[in-house]
Amino acid sequence: MRQTSVILTAAAVGLMVLAGCGEDKAGRGPASRPSTSEAATTLPDIPDLDEAAVVADGPLVKARPDEQRKDRYTLDEKAYVGSLRITCRIPSMRATLPDLKAVDFTGPCPIKDPMAIEPYKVIYDGIRQQGYDIKNEVEFYRDWNPPCLDGPLRWLAPAGQHMAVEGAAIIIEGIKSGPREELVRGQVLMNHRYWQGNYIHGRNNYSGYNIAFVPPDQRIVLGTGDHFPCEIAITEHDSGRGLGEPFRLPPLALKREGPFAGWLYEANAGSWGQPGPGSAPSPTFRDKGVYTIRCLRHPWHVGYAIVVDNPYVAVSGAQQTYSQSRDGRVTIAGVPVGTWKVRIWHPLIEPVQPVHEIKIETDEIAHLIVDFKPPKELLSLVK
């Protein structure tokens, strides 16, 4: 489908700006930057990160031999390009969605109480010195911002005569070169404070919501803004096979001095002088596919790493990290001209057709509507 006249949303325009500007029919492309192999040797170190103490899997960036990398994506600012706009939905379906239910810590999701375990005891001591009585970790999470467990309903939003599906990964396969910025080291953030978005947030690399895109032969850097340590397990999504052993993600340090010390300081993440989050690297992702990232101590912390070989990816409803459209749409700008396969994946809602074929033409916007099967939780709400 072709459309020569269209009003782009501000978010879509933002994506096109991210892609940069080329000349004449080169379309929109990023400013020149190092190739993937060059970038792999020049990425900055992670402050206060001791890889050897966390996982034993070689350096943070460990590339395969050059002969195995020759088919990787390369930057081409002169490519002829168009755009792809995707709408993810459950058609002809309307329902009033219930509020998210808080985690029942007395049920199947208990948290081990580290009250008597050093060094975590100092966290409680610091909080109590500020006049707050936080007896244990359960009360901290319950009283600050009650976390909720994941479920298909959290990824749905009413949108006219249909239900929008958010958090679906869109992957254009087979692109070997183009003007879109290349993928680099992945990042995720574990923090339950964002509008009950208490999952593992994907950051950079066109990621969004609980999905992080990662190039092969790279790691993800995990960060946390929470007070309490996490035990991270990464597994292949389909087989359940572990990617290395579970490892510890340290908590955010408590500031003990100054006007923002203690509990008040920590309760306002992003305050002036806020220390950087605790961080740790994952094992190296070698092969393409979907991986589950899960905290074994905090069951609401779940996210997904998707290893892909080109940057033409997006997440429905997330024009950029932490930006929600609530309409299940997203635009991928700067797609090279040609006929491509588009793969759709969602962890909890099944697409009717997981692979689509689209044709991109120069300076045109192709539209793709992806229908999903209604989950049983939604069917029970429809009158």
Q: Please answer whether residues 311 and 181 qualify as being in contact, where contact means their C-beta atoms are separated by less than 8 angstroms.
A: yes
Q: Does the structure show a pLDDT above 60 at 53?
A: no
Q: Which tens digits make up the pLDDT trace of 84-104?
A: 999 999 999 888 898 888 888
Query: b/e string for 325-347 if b means 16 or more Cβ within 10 A?
Result: bebbbbbbbbbbbbebebbbbbb
Q: Tell me how far CA of residue 179 lies from CA of 30, 99, 296, 297, 313, in angstroms.
A: 6, 42, 40, 42, 13
Q: Please answer whether residues 46 and 351 qualify as being in contact, where contact means their C-beta atoms are separated by less than 8 angstroms.
A: no
Categorize the per-residue pLDDT at 343 as very low, low, confident or very high, splitting at 50, 70 and 90: very high
Q: Tokens 């096109």 correspond to what residue?
A: 16
> Could you tell me the pTM of the whole model?
0.76
Domain coordinates in residue numbering, the chain: 1-32+77-101+152-182+311-383
Categorize the per-residue pLDDT at 291 as very low, low, confident or very high, splitting at 50, 70 and 90: very high
Closest CA to 349 of 155, 95, 172, 211: 155
Q: 365: number of CA atoms within 13 Å, CB side?
A: 19
Q: Which residues pair with 208 in a beta bridge?
A: 211
Which is more confidently placed, 30 or 267? 267
Q: Which tens digits make up the pLDDT trace of 228-254?
A: 778 899 999 999 999 999 988 877 665
Q: Which tens digits make up the pLDDT trace of 213-230?
A: 999 988 899 988 776 778
Q: Which residues pair with 323 in a beta bridge?
A: 320
| Percentage of the chain lying above the pLDDT 70 cut | 63
CATH architecture for residues 1-32+77-101+152-182+311-383: Sandwich (2.60)
Cα of 77 vs its chain's centroid, Å: 27
Amino acid at 311: P
Closest CA to 215 of 159, 285, 304: 285
Q: Tell me how far CA of residue 275 lies from CA of 107, 157, 224, in angstroms.
A: 34, 35, 11
Q: Does the structure show a pLDDT above 50 at 20?
A: no
